[in-house]
Structure 1
Amino acid sequence: MLKFEYSSLINAPVDIVWNFHERKDILKLLTPPWQPVQIVRREGGLKVGAITEFRIFLGLIPVTWIARHIACEPYQLFTDQQIQGPMESWIHRHQFSSQNGQTRLTDYITYELPGGLLAELLLGWWVNSRLQDMFHYRHLVTKQECEKLANYQYN
């Protein structure tokens, strides 16, 4: 099993960062423009049972990726799990914690690649580098949008 973690500090309170993630257009905002991904649907917000469906392109081959939210503690965390997709398994926890009026946003992912240990040894570094790029983008957008909103609300 492979692991990935990305964390950043956002100069906005947790409620602003959490509410940002509840936006209906959040997936469009947080999907890097260079990624070959189509957002098919998002139902249920952040609650347990919520569904997100993507179509990702592996070269010219479209692959459906469906994730279901399996945990949600408002203003603390939500977790999604792949129920259909390219990975053997995938669990992604989004955690929000307050630090002196700011928010520590941390994404934790555990996943398994199809093909077992050999695939993980050969491709794990590449998948983690793609995740690094994606979450750098996501956290940058989140930071910019939430700090702008916090400045507007509190100034």
Structure 2
Amino acid sequence: MATYEYETRLNCSVDGLFDFLSRPGNVSKVTSPNLGITFHSAPEVVHEGARLDFQVITFGQIIKSSHQILEFERPRLVVERQIAGPMKSWLHRHEYEAVPEGVLKRDIVEFQLPGGLIGLLLSESKICSHLEDGFYYREQRLQELIASGELR
């Protein structure tokens, strides 16, 4: 199983960031348009046990996926797991920590590549590079929202 980690520090409140990212509609606002994320079924605000059905465009393909929220501890932790989708396994921990300058947001993604032809075309390094680009884009958008006052 491969593990990818991304950390960012943001000058906002931990409650504000947690609440903002707990809304799938806001996740769309901070996801690269190149990814084309579309939620087909998701609660307005995620909670433990919630299911999120969505699609993204990645590596030139439309990929459908379903995730379930396994843990939801406001304002500290959200853990989601792929229950249907392209990867053999996918577990994403969203950790939030209040620090003197605002929030330390840590994303930890553990994944296993799928089998078959798709698994042969992908590599752990390719997935990690794709995640790096996506989290960097999200960080930049969050910084813009903080600067504009939309996120506090």
Give the TM bin, normalised by the shorter chain: 0.7 to 0.9
Number of the residue aligned with 1:45? 45
Q: Contact conserved, 1:13 with 1:150, CA < 8 A, in 2? A: no
Q: How many positions carry a matched residue from both structures?
A: 150
Q: Contact conserved, 2:23 with 2:44, CA < 8 A, in 1? A: no
Number of the residue aligned with 1:56? 56
- Percent identity reads 25
* TM-score, with structure 1 as normaliser: 0.84
Find the structure with the greater CA-based Rg.
1
* TM-score, with structure 2 as normaliser: 0.85
Give the 3 Å change call, closer, same or farther, for CA 79–44 of structure 1 in structure 2: farther
Q: CA deviation at 1:44?
A: 5.9
Output aligned runs, 1:64-143, within 5 Å.
64-115=64-115, 119=119, 123-143=123-143
Number of the residue aligned with 1:144? 144
Structure 2 residue identity aligned to 1:33: P
Structure 2 residue identity aligned to 1:35: L
Gap runs ≥5 in structure 1: none
Give the 3 Å change call, closer, same or farther, for CA 24–61 of structure 1 in structure 2: closer
Q: Distance in 2 between matches of 1:111 and 1:46?
A: 22
Q: Distance in 1 between matches of 2:24 and 2:130?
A: 25
Q: CA deviation at 1:79?
A: 0.7
* Superposed CA offset, 1:50-85 (max 9, x none): 121112346675432000000011010101000000
Question: RMSD value over aligned CA atoms?
Answer: 2.6
Q: Contact conserved, 1:46 with 1:78, CA < 8 A, in 2? A: no
Q: Distance in 1 between matches of 2:97 and 2:61?
A: 39
